Structure 1
Amino acid sequence: MSYKASGNAIVDRSFYFACDIVIYAEKLKEKRYFEIANQLLKSGTSIGANVRESQRGVSKKDFKNKLGIALKEADETSFWLDVIEETKIFNVPSSLREDCETLIKLLVSIIKNS
């Protein structure tokens, strides 16, 4: 079964971002950057997992808590992308960086307005 777009911007964006992170992490692994690839893979895919879990929140507090975790994971993902860029070990696609920043902005907005 393939992913079906939900029409919910944060759910869909975080899912496709996770897919892009998986592909990018595989490229890092091909260059033998296993540790940083695994760190990035964990944080980058956790964003979408927590966003999806938030949709089944049992309360508003639970919903905001899950999105808060997703926000922390997005910030960690941004950190790993910064490390990769700063050390120049591998090229970080601008689209990956932009998508991460967009997710952070969306998550902040949703949490503030919930």
Structure 2
Amino acid sequence: MTDMKARTKKFTIDCALFCAKIPNSREFNAYVNQLIRCSSSVGANYRASQRAKSTADFINKLKIVEEEADESNFFLEILLEINKRQDLKIEIEKLLKEGNEILAIIVASIKTARNNQINKT
């Protein structure tokens, strides 16, 4: 399996490259800007989690990744519904699949970290 640091960075880049293909128009701009913001936060906050000062800090940073990945998926779903181009729909579906996989891994990591934290005490 790909290293999560590289995988979340790739997700950020793939979302940015996708957003560059979306028409620059009033109805898309807000969603594109939000997707760029939250998808970049996925990669940045996962990276920050790897430098956490404690288990609690690690969990806290992963919770941010969880929220931002879920938000990325939300904006991808909106773009999937309002976009008319079939080629972009295929790309959105791939990004959604990756976003959901990242989200599932992060949720599992949070559960594991919490269980490990409880078992230490």
Say whether the fold is shared (TM-score over 0.5). yes
Structure 2: gaps of 5 or more residues: 114-121
Verify: 1:9 aligned to 2:3, yes or no: yes
Q: How many residues align?
A: 107
Contact 2:77 2:96 in 1 (8 A): no
CA distance in 2, matches of 1:34, 1:73: 19
| Counterpart residue type for residue 13 of structure 2 | C
Deviating beyond 3 angstroms after TM superposition, the runs of 4 or more aligned structure 1 residues are: none
CA distance in 1, matches of 2:46, 2:96: 19
Shift of 1:89: 4.8
Contact 2:39 2:72 in 1 (8 A): yes
Q: When you count helix as a share of all residues, which structure comes out higher?
A: 2
Verify: 1:75 aligned to 2:70, yes or no: yes
Structure 1: gaps of 5 or more residues: 1-6
1:12-23 superposed matches below 5 A:
12-23=6-17
Cα 1:8/1:63, change in 2 over 3 Å: farther
CA distance in 2, matches of 1:8, 1:20: 15
Among 21, 25, 46, the residue aligned to 1:27: 21
Higher gyration radius (CA)? 2
TM-score calculated relative to the size of structure 1:
0.85
TM-score calculated relative to the size of structure 2:
0.81
CA distance in 1, matches of 2:21, 2:101: 23
The superposition leaves residues 80-103 of structure 1 with CA deviations (integer Å, 9 ceiling, x where unpaired) of 011111223553312211110110
Q: Which residue of 2 is the match for residue 59 of structure 1?
A: 54
The Cα RMSD (Å) is: 1.7
Q: Which residue of 2 is the match for residue 49 of structure 1?
A: 44
Cα 1:109/1:85, change in 2 over 3 Å: same
- Identity between Structure 1 and Structure 2 (%): 31
Q: Which residue of 2 is the match for residue 4 of structure 1?
A: none
